Amino acid sequence: MRIVLVGPPGAGKGTQAAYLAKNLAIPHISTGDLFRANISQGTPLGQKAQEYMRAGQLVPDEVTIGMAKDRMQQPDAAHGFLLDGFPRNLAQAEALDGILKADDLKLDAVLDLEVPEDEVVKRIAGRRMCRKDSSHIFHAIYNPPKTEGVCDTCGGELYQREDDSEETVRKRLEVYHSETEPIIDYYKAQGLVVTISALGKVVEVTQRAMAALGRD
């Protein structure tokens, strides 16, 4: 299957992508991983991306599209893939269509993870990280530490990342609504969108997604 995963920040796309890719036996291709791999390997596209990032500028669409195209043409993606974070806007969605069409391929589904805005804010703004070990993550509501502000695992100080503040989260949601949401309508016109609720336990959302994709 060739699937695009969409949803607002805080919808749990990364978590669901990993589970779905494993269940469907296809590679999980995330924009973050693409950038890290290309930069660490020093590819021409990675070098270009790094130049823009060092200058504090957004990486242009053509660089992101180039990285995604290279990755989708790797042998492990020959029988399908799950795209997470790409396409991010209409220009990228149109480019993806062109890449697939050139190889006589098409998408099977666009899985839209739906989460109410207030829940997104609650999920992200409640997140607390450990200063000693960033893999130790807690949540003020859903997974609070035994002692407020102290990591259960190592005793490190817990803090809220700057980009997890409510104000920043709402700004990220504005960007999502203006840039990424239009691709849902674009794919709806092609009859590809399957919308599911991303509320509830991780395993429940995965089961919902697999059923929606006809793979339960």
Q: Each residue of 180-212: pLDDT tens digit?
A: 999 999 999 999 999 999 999 989 999 999 999
CATH 3.40.50.300 for domain 2-212: yes
pLDDT digits (tens, 9 = 90+) for 149-170: 999 999 999 999 888 999 999 9
127 in a known ligand binding site: yes
pTM reported for the whole predicted model: 0.89
What percent of the chain is modeled with pLDDT above 70? Answer: 100
Report pLDDT digits (tens) over 78-120.
999 999 999 999 999 999 999 999 999 999 999 999 999 999 9
> pLDDT value at position 163?
86
Please tell me whether 78 is known to bind a ligand: no
Confidence of residue 216 (pLDDT cuts 50, 70, 90): low
Question: Does 172 appear as a known binding residue?
Answer: yes
Q: In this predicted structure, what is the pLDDT of residue 204?
A: 95
Q: In the chain, where are the structural domains located?
A: 2-212
| Cα distance between residue 203 and residue 20, in whole Å | 10
Read off the tokens for 93.
Answer: 């969605």
Q: In whole angstroms, what is the distance from residue 167 CA to residue 65 CA?
A: 30
Annotated active-site positions, please?
13, 88, 127, 161, 172
210: left (phi over 0), alpha (psi -120 to 50) or beta: alpha
The mean pLDDT value for 174-181 works out to 95
